[in-house]
Amino acid sequence: MRILIVGAGGVGSAAARIAVRRDFFEAIVVADYDPARPEALVAELGDPRFSAAQVDASDAASVAALVRESGATHVLNAVDPRFVMPIFTGVFDAGATYLDMAMSLSKPHPEKPYELPGVKLGDEQFAAAEKWRAAGRLALVGIGVEPGLSDVFARYAQDELFAEIDELGVRDGANLVVEGYDFAPSFSIWTTIEECLNPPVIYEKDRGWYTTAPFSEPEVFDFPEGIGPVECVNVEHEEVLLMPRWTNAKRVTFKYGLGDEFIQVLQVLHKTGLDRTDPVTVKGVQVSPRDVVAAALPDPATLGDRMTGKTCAGVWVRGTGKDGEPRSTYLYHVADNEQTMRQDNSQAVVWQTAINPVIALELLARGDWAGEGVLGPEAFDARPFLDLLAEPAPAGYGSPWGMVEKEITPSDG
């Protein structure tokens, strides 16, 4: 296996730092628009299997040319979702396997944005599924942490824990603090704005996909391992578009623990138009307001040594257990910033995202996972993934996941 990682930001760099300890691949090329970034990363790793390259992720032809030049058999897209389609197209044209951690962008419904979905997350990629299948090629989409590990948990819950699933509720929360900053997102602000200000999507089996207002249906969720209660709200996310395709859940939701201050900042960005991606003219120069916001904030990849705390990703599954009794279970994974910085010099949020595609690549290399077409993580057996994630190093990745039983409410039963 020869791997090309497109993007040497926080997640791409963390993936390389995790992969350097593994032996399932022959070579990894790390590419970025700015060649200095992958060159510095490769120098840091000091492993002859790694090399650096330059690529324009907005140009499918540039991506395809690098895939061919590097001899890559598998390409991991580690840039923000506006570049999904050029990379996705370029990888297909070059004949390689594709993986990403965020899917093609959505467009709100033109008349009823808070009732009906318009173009949904991933629609452009799923429209090409038959082409990928006919060519005998795999595009494994949404294999970060959320989407990604959360989807693996959903498949595991369906296969091994539940006879019937009433709701798959992805719940994400953290107690991370960034010293010295009043406002410093721990993940790409470009992606965060996209997720949080678009109409959230909810799935119900008897209704299909529908939308609601941003930050709707607040609830307090008690996260494990010392994080505690966090208020979570509806946010647009890929799991709601992926899980119904491969599970039998009656309802699928995604709620994110943002906090009042974070929500207020996002609302101000929206009201002032600073969330816009279309360029505006400033003193004769065309600039995207959202790009200006991203440039003004600190790079999340550089915040690790100022961060403390943990982040938790997981799925709250409610329904009927294999024993026929009501069951309410939260399957989760926690990343501690102190540990991820010590081990891989990567802050917890990007590290927790990056470990999952590396595991998926290893499963593909071993033949434990295989498929054709455009497939989400739910399309594969969850057990090999979760075993490899938790098994102590060097055999596995030494990052345990957990389960906690939640109180069963009347609505669960």
pLDDT of the residue at 184: 64
Tens of pLDDT, residue by residue over 244-279, are 999 999 999 999 987 777 777 878 887 888 888 888
The predicted model scores a pTM of 0.91
* Cα 24 to Cα 74: distance, rounded to the nearest angstrom: 13
* Cα 94 to Cα 115: distance, rounded to the nearest angstrom: 39
Tens of pLDDT, residue by residue over 306-358, are 778 999 999 999 999 999 999 999 999 999 999 999 999 999 999 999 999 99
Say how many C-beta atoms besides its own lie within 10 A of residue 81's C-beta.
22
Q: Is the pLDDT of residue 241 over 90?
A: yes
* Cα 289 to Cα 311: distance, rounded to the nearest angstrom: 29
Mean pLDDT (the chain) is 93
Residues contacting residue 346 through CB under 8 Å, at least 6 positions apart: 10, 13, 14, 17, 301, 304, 340, 354
Q: Is the pLDDT of residue 70 over 90?
A: yes
* Cα 160 to Cα 259: distance, rounded to the nearest angstrom: 34
Beta-ladder partners of 139: 98, 374
* Cα 394 to Cα 413: distance, rounded to the nearest angstrom: 43
Q: Is the pLDDT of residue 192 over 90?
A: no
* Cα 376 to Cα 324: distance, rounded to the nearest angstrom: 29
Q: Nearest to residue 353, comparing CAs of 17, 75, 20?
A: 17
Element (H, E) at 100: strand 97-100
Instruction: Give the count of alpha carbons within 13 A of 56, CB side only.
Output: 6
* Cα 249 to Cα 163: distance, rounded to the nearest angstrom: 10
Residues contacting residue 44 through CB under 8 Å, at least 6 positions apart: none
Q: Nearest to residue 297, comparing CAs of 265, 340, 342?
A: 265
pLDDT of the residue at 83: 96
* Cα 305 to Cα 340: distance, rounded to the nearest angstrom: 11
Q: What is the full DSSP assignment across 104-118?
A: PPPB--SS-TTTS-S
Task: State percent of the chain over pLDDT 90.
Answer: 79
Task: State percent of the chain over pLDDT 70.
Answer: 96
Residues contacting residue 394 through CB under 8 Å, at least 6 positions apart: 21
Mean pLDDT value across residues 156-176: 96
Q: Is the pLDDT of residue 382 over 90?
A: yes
Distances in Å between the Cα of 374 and the Cα atoms of 89, 141, 148, 253 are 12, 7, 14, 22
Q: What is the SS3 string spanning 4-22?
A: EEECCCHHHHHHHHHHCCC
pLDDT tier for residue 190 given thresholds of 50, 70 and 90: confident
* Cα 225 to Cα 334: distance, rounded to the nearest angstrom: 8
pLDDT tier for residue 410 given thresholds of 50, 70 and 90: low
pLDDT tier for residue 301 given thresholds of 50, 70 and 90: low
pLDDT of the residue at 187: 61
Name the residue with higher pLDDT: 298 or 142. Answer: 142
pLDDT of the residue at 182: 64
Mean pLDDT value across residues 4-13: 96
Mean pLDDT value across residues 356-372: 98
Backbone φ, ψ for residue 206 (5° rounding)? -90, 0
Largest CA distance in the chain: 68
